[in-house]
Amino acid sequence: MELNERKLKILQAIIKDYLTTAEPVGSRTISKNYNLGISPATIRNEMSDLEELGFIVQPHTSAGRIPSDKAYRLYVDTMLELQKAEFGKLVYLDQLLKSTGRIENLLKEIARLLAQETHYTTFVTTPQYRRAKVKNLQLIDLEEGKLLVVVVTDTNHIKNRTIRVDSRYDQTVLNRLSFQLNEQLYNLSLEEIGKERIESVKQATGEDQIVGKILDALFEIIHEVDDMDIYTSGTTNILHYPEFADLDKASALMRSIEERDVFKDILNTTFDLEDGKVKISIGDENELPDLKACSLITTSYHIHGERVGAIGIIGPKRMDYYNTVYSLRCLIKNMDELLNRL
């Protein structure tokens, strides 16, 4: 038995109806609502074959059928082949960059807007720079025994640390020291600031003790930038769908979403995708047991040609794949162009 054209038309009708209603679909519904030119009796027979082929299943309490993971996979693969690759410009991203300034705030706002647009749960990772470089370092006198170390990286991350020192330094002295440190450390990553460079910095400044503390603060900051964080939005959106009316199922899903390290591992797999591609994991294709009732769509974004972060969307298996994937691909294209200007 094979999936011929007639069976495919019926399957497409079942999927379309279920995506809209979340109700099991019967042969009468297909016959009444879809002009397939097929009698209800023939539809029933074909649906029986589709069930035998593993494309539809029968819920416990219904005479109708719902699509299986196998059916969703066929639908998604076909949809991606047909989807146009032309994407408009998202003007609001330019406005976001102007209003937020920092990349962390921009990514949080993108997660929020994507959740608002799709009505699903969204995830955005911060850039995972394996070689973040020093763009600028400034030392600021705070009070007796305290200095503020402010570091700007080549990716426009601005971080600071407070360090304790034995005596108070005049700001003029700190400005000179900042200048010397920038001369020695500009455009260097952690890997490039080795022991020889550290000794060179200490000799150039003549301030062994304070420079050691400054470099410790610098290393902490760069490590923090190199580490990946994850921003979530629309966490409760998915609970509005009838598939998650069961409190136990909903609670299990919420616990999984809170396991941030797990999602870091999932989103890291997007780094292997070709540029502009999306990965869609449906139902049992998800490794996490609590995501078996969901679909997960992920893709990556770039800065200056380097694949540095990922975006993910979680929704029910009957999610609006076409518009969700289109929105995500359009967002990524615009994000890449925008972030390259940082």
**Class of 5-67 in CATH:** mainly alpha
Quickly count helices (H) and strands (E) in the chain. Answer: 12, 10
| Res. 164: pLDDT tops 90 | yes
Question: What pLDDT does residue 289 have?
Answer: 84
Which residues are within 8 A (CB) of 256 and not within 5 positions of it... i.e. 6 or more apart? 262, 288, 290, 291
Burial (CB count within 10 angstroms: exposed 0-12, middle 13-18, buried 19+), residue 10: buried
Instruction: Report the alpha-carbon distance of residue 74 to residue 169 in Å, rounded.
Output: 68
Alpha carbon separation from 117 to 123, 161, 181, 324 (Å, rounded): 14, 37, 46, 9
Q: Strand runs (DSSP E) across 39-116, as ranges?
A: 56-57, 66-67
- How much of the chain exceeds pLDDT 70, in percent? 89
- Give 250-304 pLDDT, tens digit per residue: 888 888 887 777 776 676 677 677 777 889 999 999 988 888 889 999 998 888 7
Report how far residue 135's alpha carbon sits from residue 128's, in angstroms, rounded to the nearest whole number.
17
Q: Which amino acid is at 327?
A: S
Q: Is the pTM of this model over 0.85?
A: no
For range 191-219, the mean pLDDT: 84
For the chain, give every domain's residue range: 5-67, 82-128+228-339, 134-226
Query: What's domain 134-226's architecture?
Result: 2-Layer Sandwich (3.30)
Q: With 0-12 CB in 10 A as exposed, 13-18 as middle and 19+ as buried, what is 163?
A: middle
Cβ contact 212:179 at 8 Å: no
Q: Tokens 């940082």 label which residue?
A: 342
The residue with tokens 């997007």 is 270
Say yes or no to pLDDT of 206 above 90: no
Asked if pLDDT for residue 88 goes beyond 60, the answer is: no
Position 135 scores a pLDDT of 92
Q: Which residues of 82-111 are buried (b: 16+ CB within 10 A; e: fewer)?
A: eeeeeeeebeebeebbeeeeebbebbbbbb
Of 78-82, 90-94, 116-120, 221-225, give the lowest mean pLDDT range: 90-94
What is the per-residue pLDDT for 83?
64
Question: What integer pLDDT is reported at residue 143 of this predicted model?
Answer: 84
- 8 Å CB contact between 73 and 81: no
Q: What is the pLDDT of residue 298?
A: 92
Question: Does domain 82-128+228-339 correspond to CATH entry 3.50.50.60?
Answer: no
